[in-house]
Chain A
């Protein structure tokens, strides 16, 4: 069966510090991978998605970036965090097209102070 992992689970960072969140998927190959952000009490905002190694599509201009160095690894990064980067970051995967079900990881709660 497929599983998706995210770490860390919780992170408190000062403004201006760098960020690296990692997501890995097990039990499948060549998945589509997604990064979402959810502000407190808000909906799901798609940040990046990837259909293959090295292929990243950005949905929202911002100070975040994503990379996919391996087939089942997706990394979200920032060089300098802003207060507005606080939120719940969710990684998701799907097999094949976007029409297919997306399965979410447990999420990383980020607080920027």
Chain B
């Protein structure tokens, strides 16, 4: 049930773009994206609730392809502050209860 993130790690120079993918073997009803800086708690970026939905946050945006059961996070013109580990979370229904399950994360390093 854990979503699969790719790549596991990416290194960029400031100003470059990156795409982080999140896919699931089960039907997706929503996708949550978080960023965690080293030693800190994860911070919410955005949530996508509908297939085809796209959202943006500064120069970070995401799309949700319900049919393909995947979501992608786009980081445009990356800044040093974008460095961190990005997690996607997907909601599954099991035993009548809903659970948010996170992927293993993608470590993004932005260098000057």
Contact = CB atoms under 8 A, between A and B. Distances in A.
B87 interface: yes
Contacts of B29: 99
B87 A101 contact: no
A65 to B, nearest CB: 19
Interface in B88-102: 89, 91, 97-102
A98 B42 contact: no
Given A43-B87, A43-B104, A105-B41, A99 B97 contact: no
Contact of A102 (B44, B103, B105): B44
Contacts of B49: 99
Chief secondary structure at chain B's binding surface: strand
Contacts of B44: 101-103
Given A102-B32, A104-B42, A43 B97 contact: no
Interface of A: 42-44, 46, 49, 57, 59, 90, 97-99, 101-107
Given A98-B99, A99-B98, A44 B43 contact: no
Nearest to A97: B98
Given A101-B44, A104-B41, A44 B98 contact: no
24 contacts: A42-B104, A43-B87, A43-B102, A43-B104, A44-B42, A44-B87, A46-B99, A49-B99, A97-B98, A98-B99, A98-B100, A99-B30, A99-B47, A99-B49, A99-B91, A101-B32, A101-B47, A102-B32, A102-B44, A102-B89, A103-B44, A104-B42, A106-B40, A106-B41
Given A99-B29, A99-B91, A44 B41 contact: no
B98 A43 contact: no
Contact of A46 (B30, B101, B104, B105): B101
